[in-house]
């Protein structure tokens, strides 16, 4: 399978697939003309990467998950540990964004948004604000 087909089947751009090969996440065969030749197993790996990346795992975490995926002797505990750590991280990010959202919303709702220069958003950013 050429890279174009692999791209279509995995949902990853060809550029990204080459990049993943560069950083050692897969090693497709080559045909005589030098083109990359993807096996069905390669496609599985690519789809696995696409899914785990879109779930928010870093490329390095994907590397670990991929090796667990390919390890028939794996302990599910190892996978669970990575996923739980990611969950904690996501929770932290959500909390941070919700905090930001609250402050920003407060500022936006107190700004007239007209042609006058007075602006509580600028005041806050300048350290003259009321919020927080």
Partner DNA sequence: GTTGACCTTCCATCTACTGGAAGGTCTATT
Partner DNA sequence: AATAGACCTTCCAGTAGATGGAAGGTCAAC
| Residues forming the site for its own copies (CB under 8 A) | 44, 47-48, 51-52, 55-56, 65, 68-69, 71-77, 79-81, 83-84, 86-87, 90-91, 93-94, 97-98, 100-101, 103-105, 107-108, 111-119, 121-122, 124-127
CB nearer its own copies, residue 31 or residue 76: 76
Q: Is 45 in the site for DNA (CB under 7 A)?
A: no
The residue count for the chain: 132
CB nearer its own copies, residue 35 or residue 121: 121
- Whole-angstrom distance, CA of residue 15 vs CA of residue 120: 45
Q: From residue 53 to residue 92, what is the string marking binding to DNA with x (rule CB under 7 A)? A: x----xxx--------------------------------
- Beta carbons within 10 angstroms of residue 36's beta carbon: 19
Partner that binds at residue 94, options its own copies, DNA, none, CB closer than 5 to 8 Å by kind: its own copies
5: enclosing H helix or E strand: helix 3-10
DSSP three-state, residue 33: coil
Nearest in space to 43 (alpha carbons), one of 71, 72, 4: 4
- Whole-angstrom distance, CA of residue 59 vs CA of residue 21: 12
Structure letter (DSSP) for residue 37? E
CB nearer DNA, residue 63 or residue 110: 63
Give the binding site for DNA (CB under 7 A).
2-5, 7, 13-16, 18-19, 32-36, 53, 58-60
């Amino acid at each position: 399978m050429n890279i174009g087909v692999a791209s279509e089947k995995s949902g990853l751009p060809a550029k990204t697939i080459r990049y993943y090969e560069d950083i050692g996440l897969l090693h497709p065969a080559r045909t005589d003309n030098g083109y990359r030749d993807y096996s069905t197993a390669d496609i599985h790996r690519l789809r696995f990467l696409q899914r785990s990346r879109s779930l928010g795992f870093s490329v390095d975490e994907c590397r670990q998950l991929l090796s667990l995926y390919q390890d028939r002797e794996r302990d599910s505990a190892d996978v669970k540990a990575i996923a739980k750590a990611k969950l904690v991280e996501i929770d932290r990010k959500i909390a941070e964004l919700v905090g930001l959202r609250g402050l920003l919303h407060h500022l936006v709702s107190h700004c007239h948004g007209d042609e006058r220069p007075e602006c509580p958003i600028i005041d806050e950013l300048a350290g003259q604000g009321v919020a927080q």
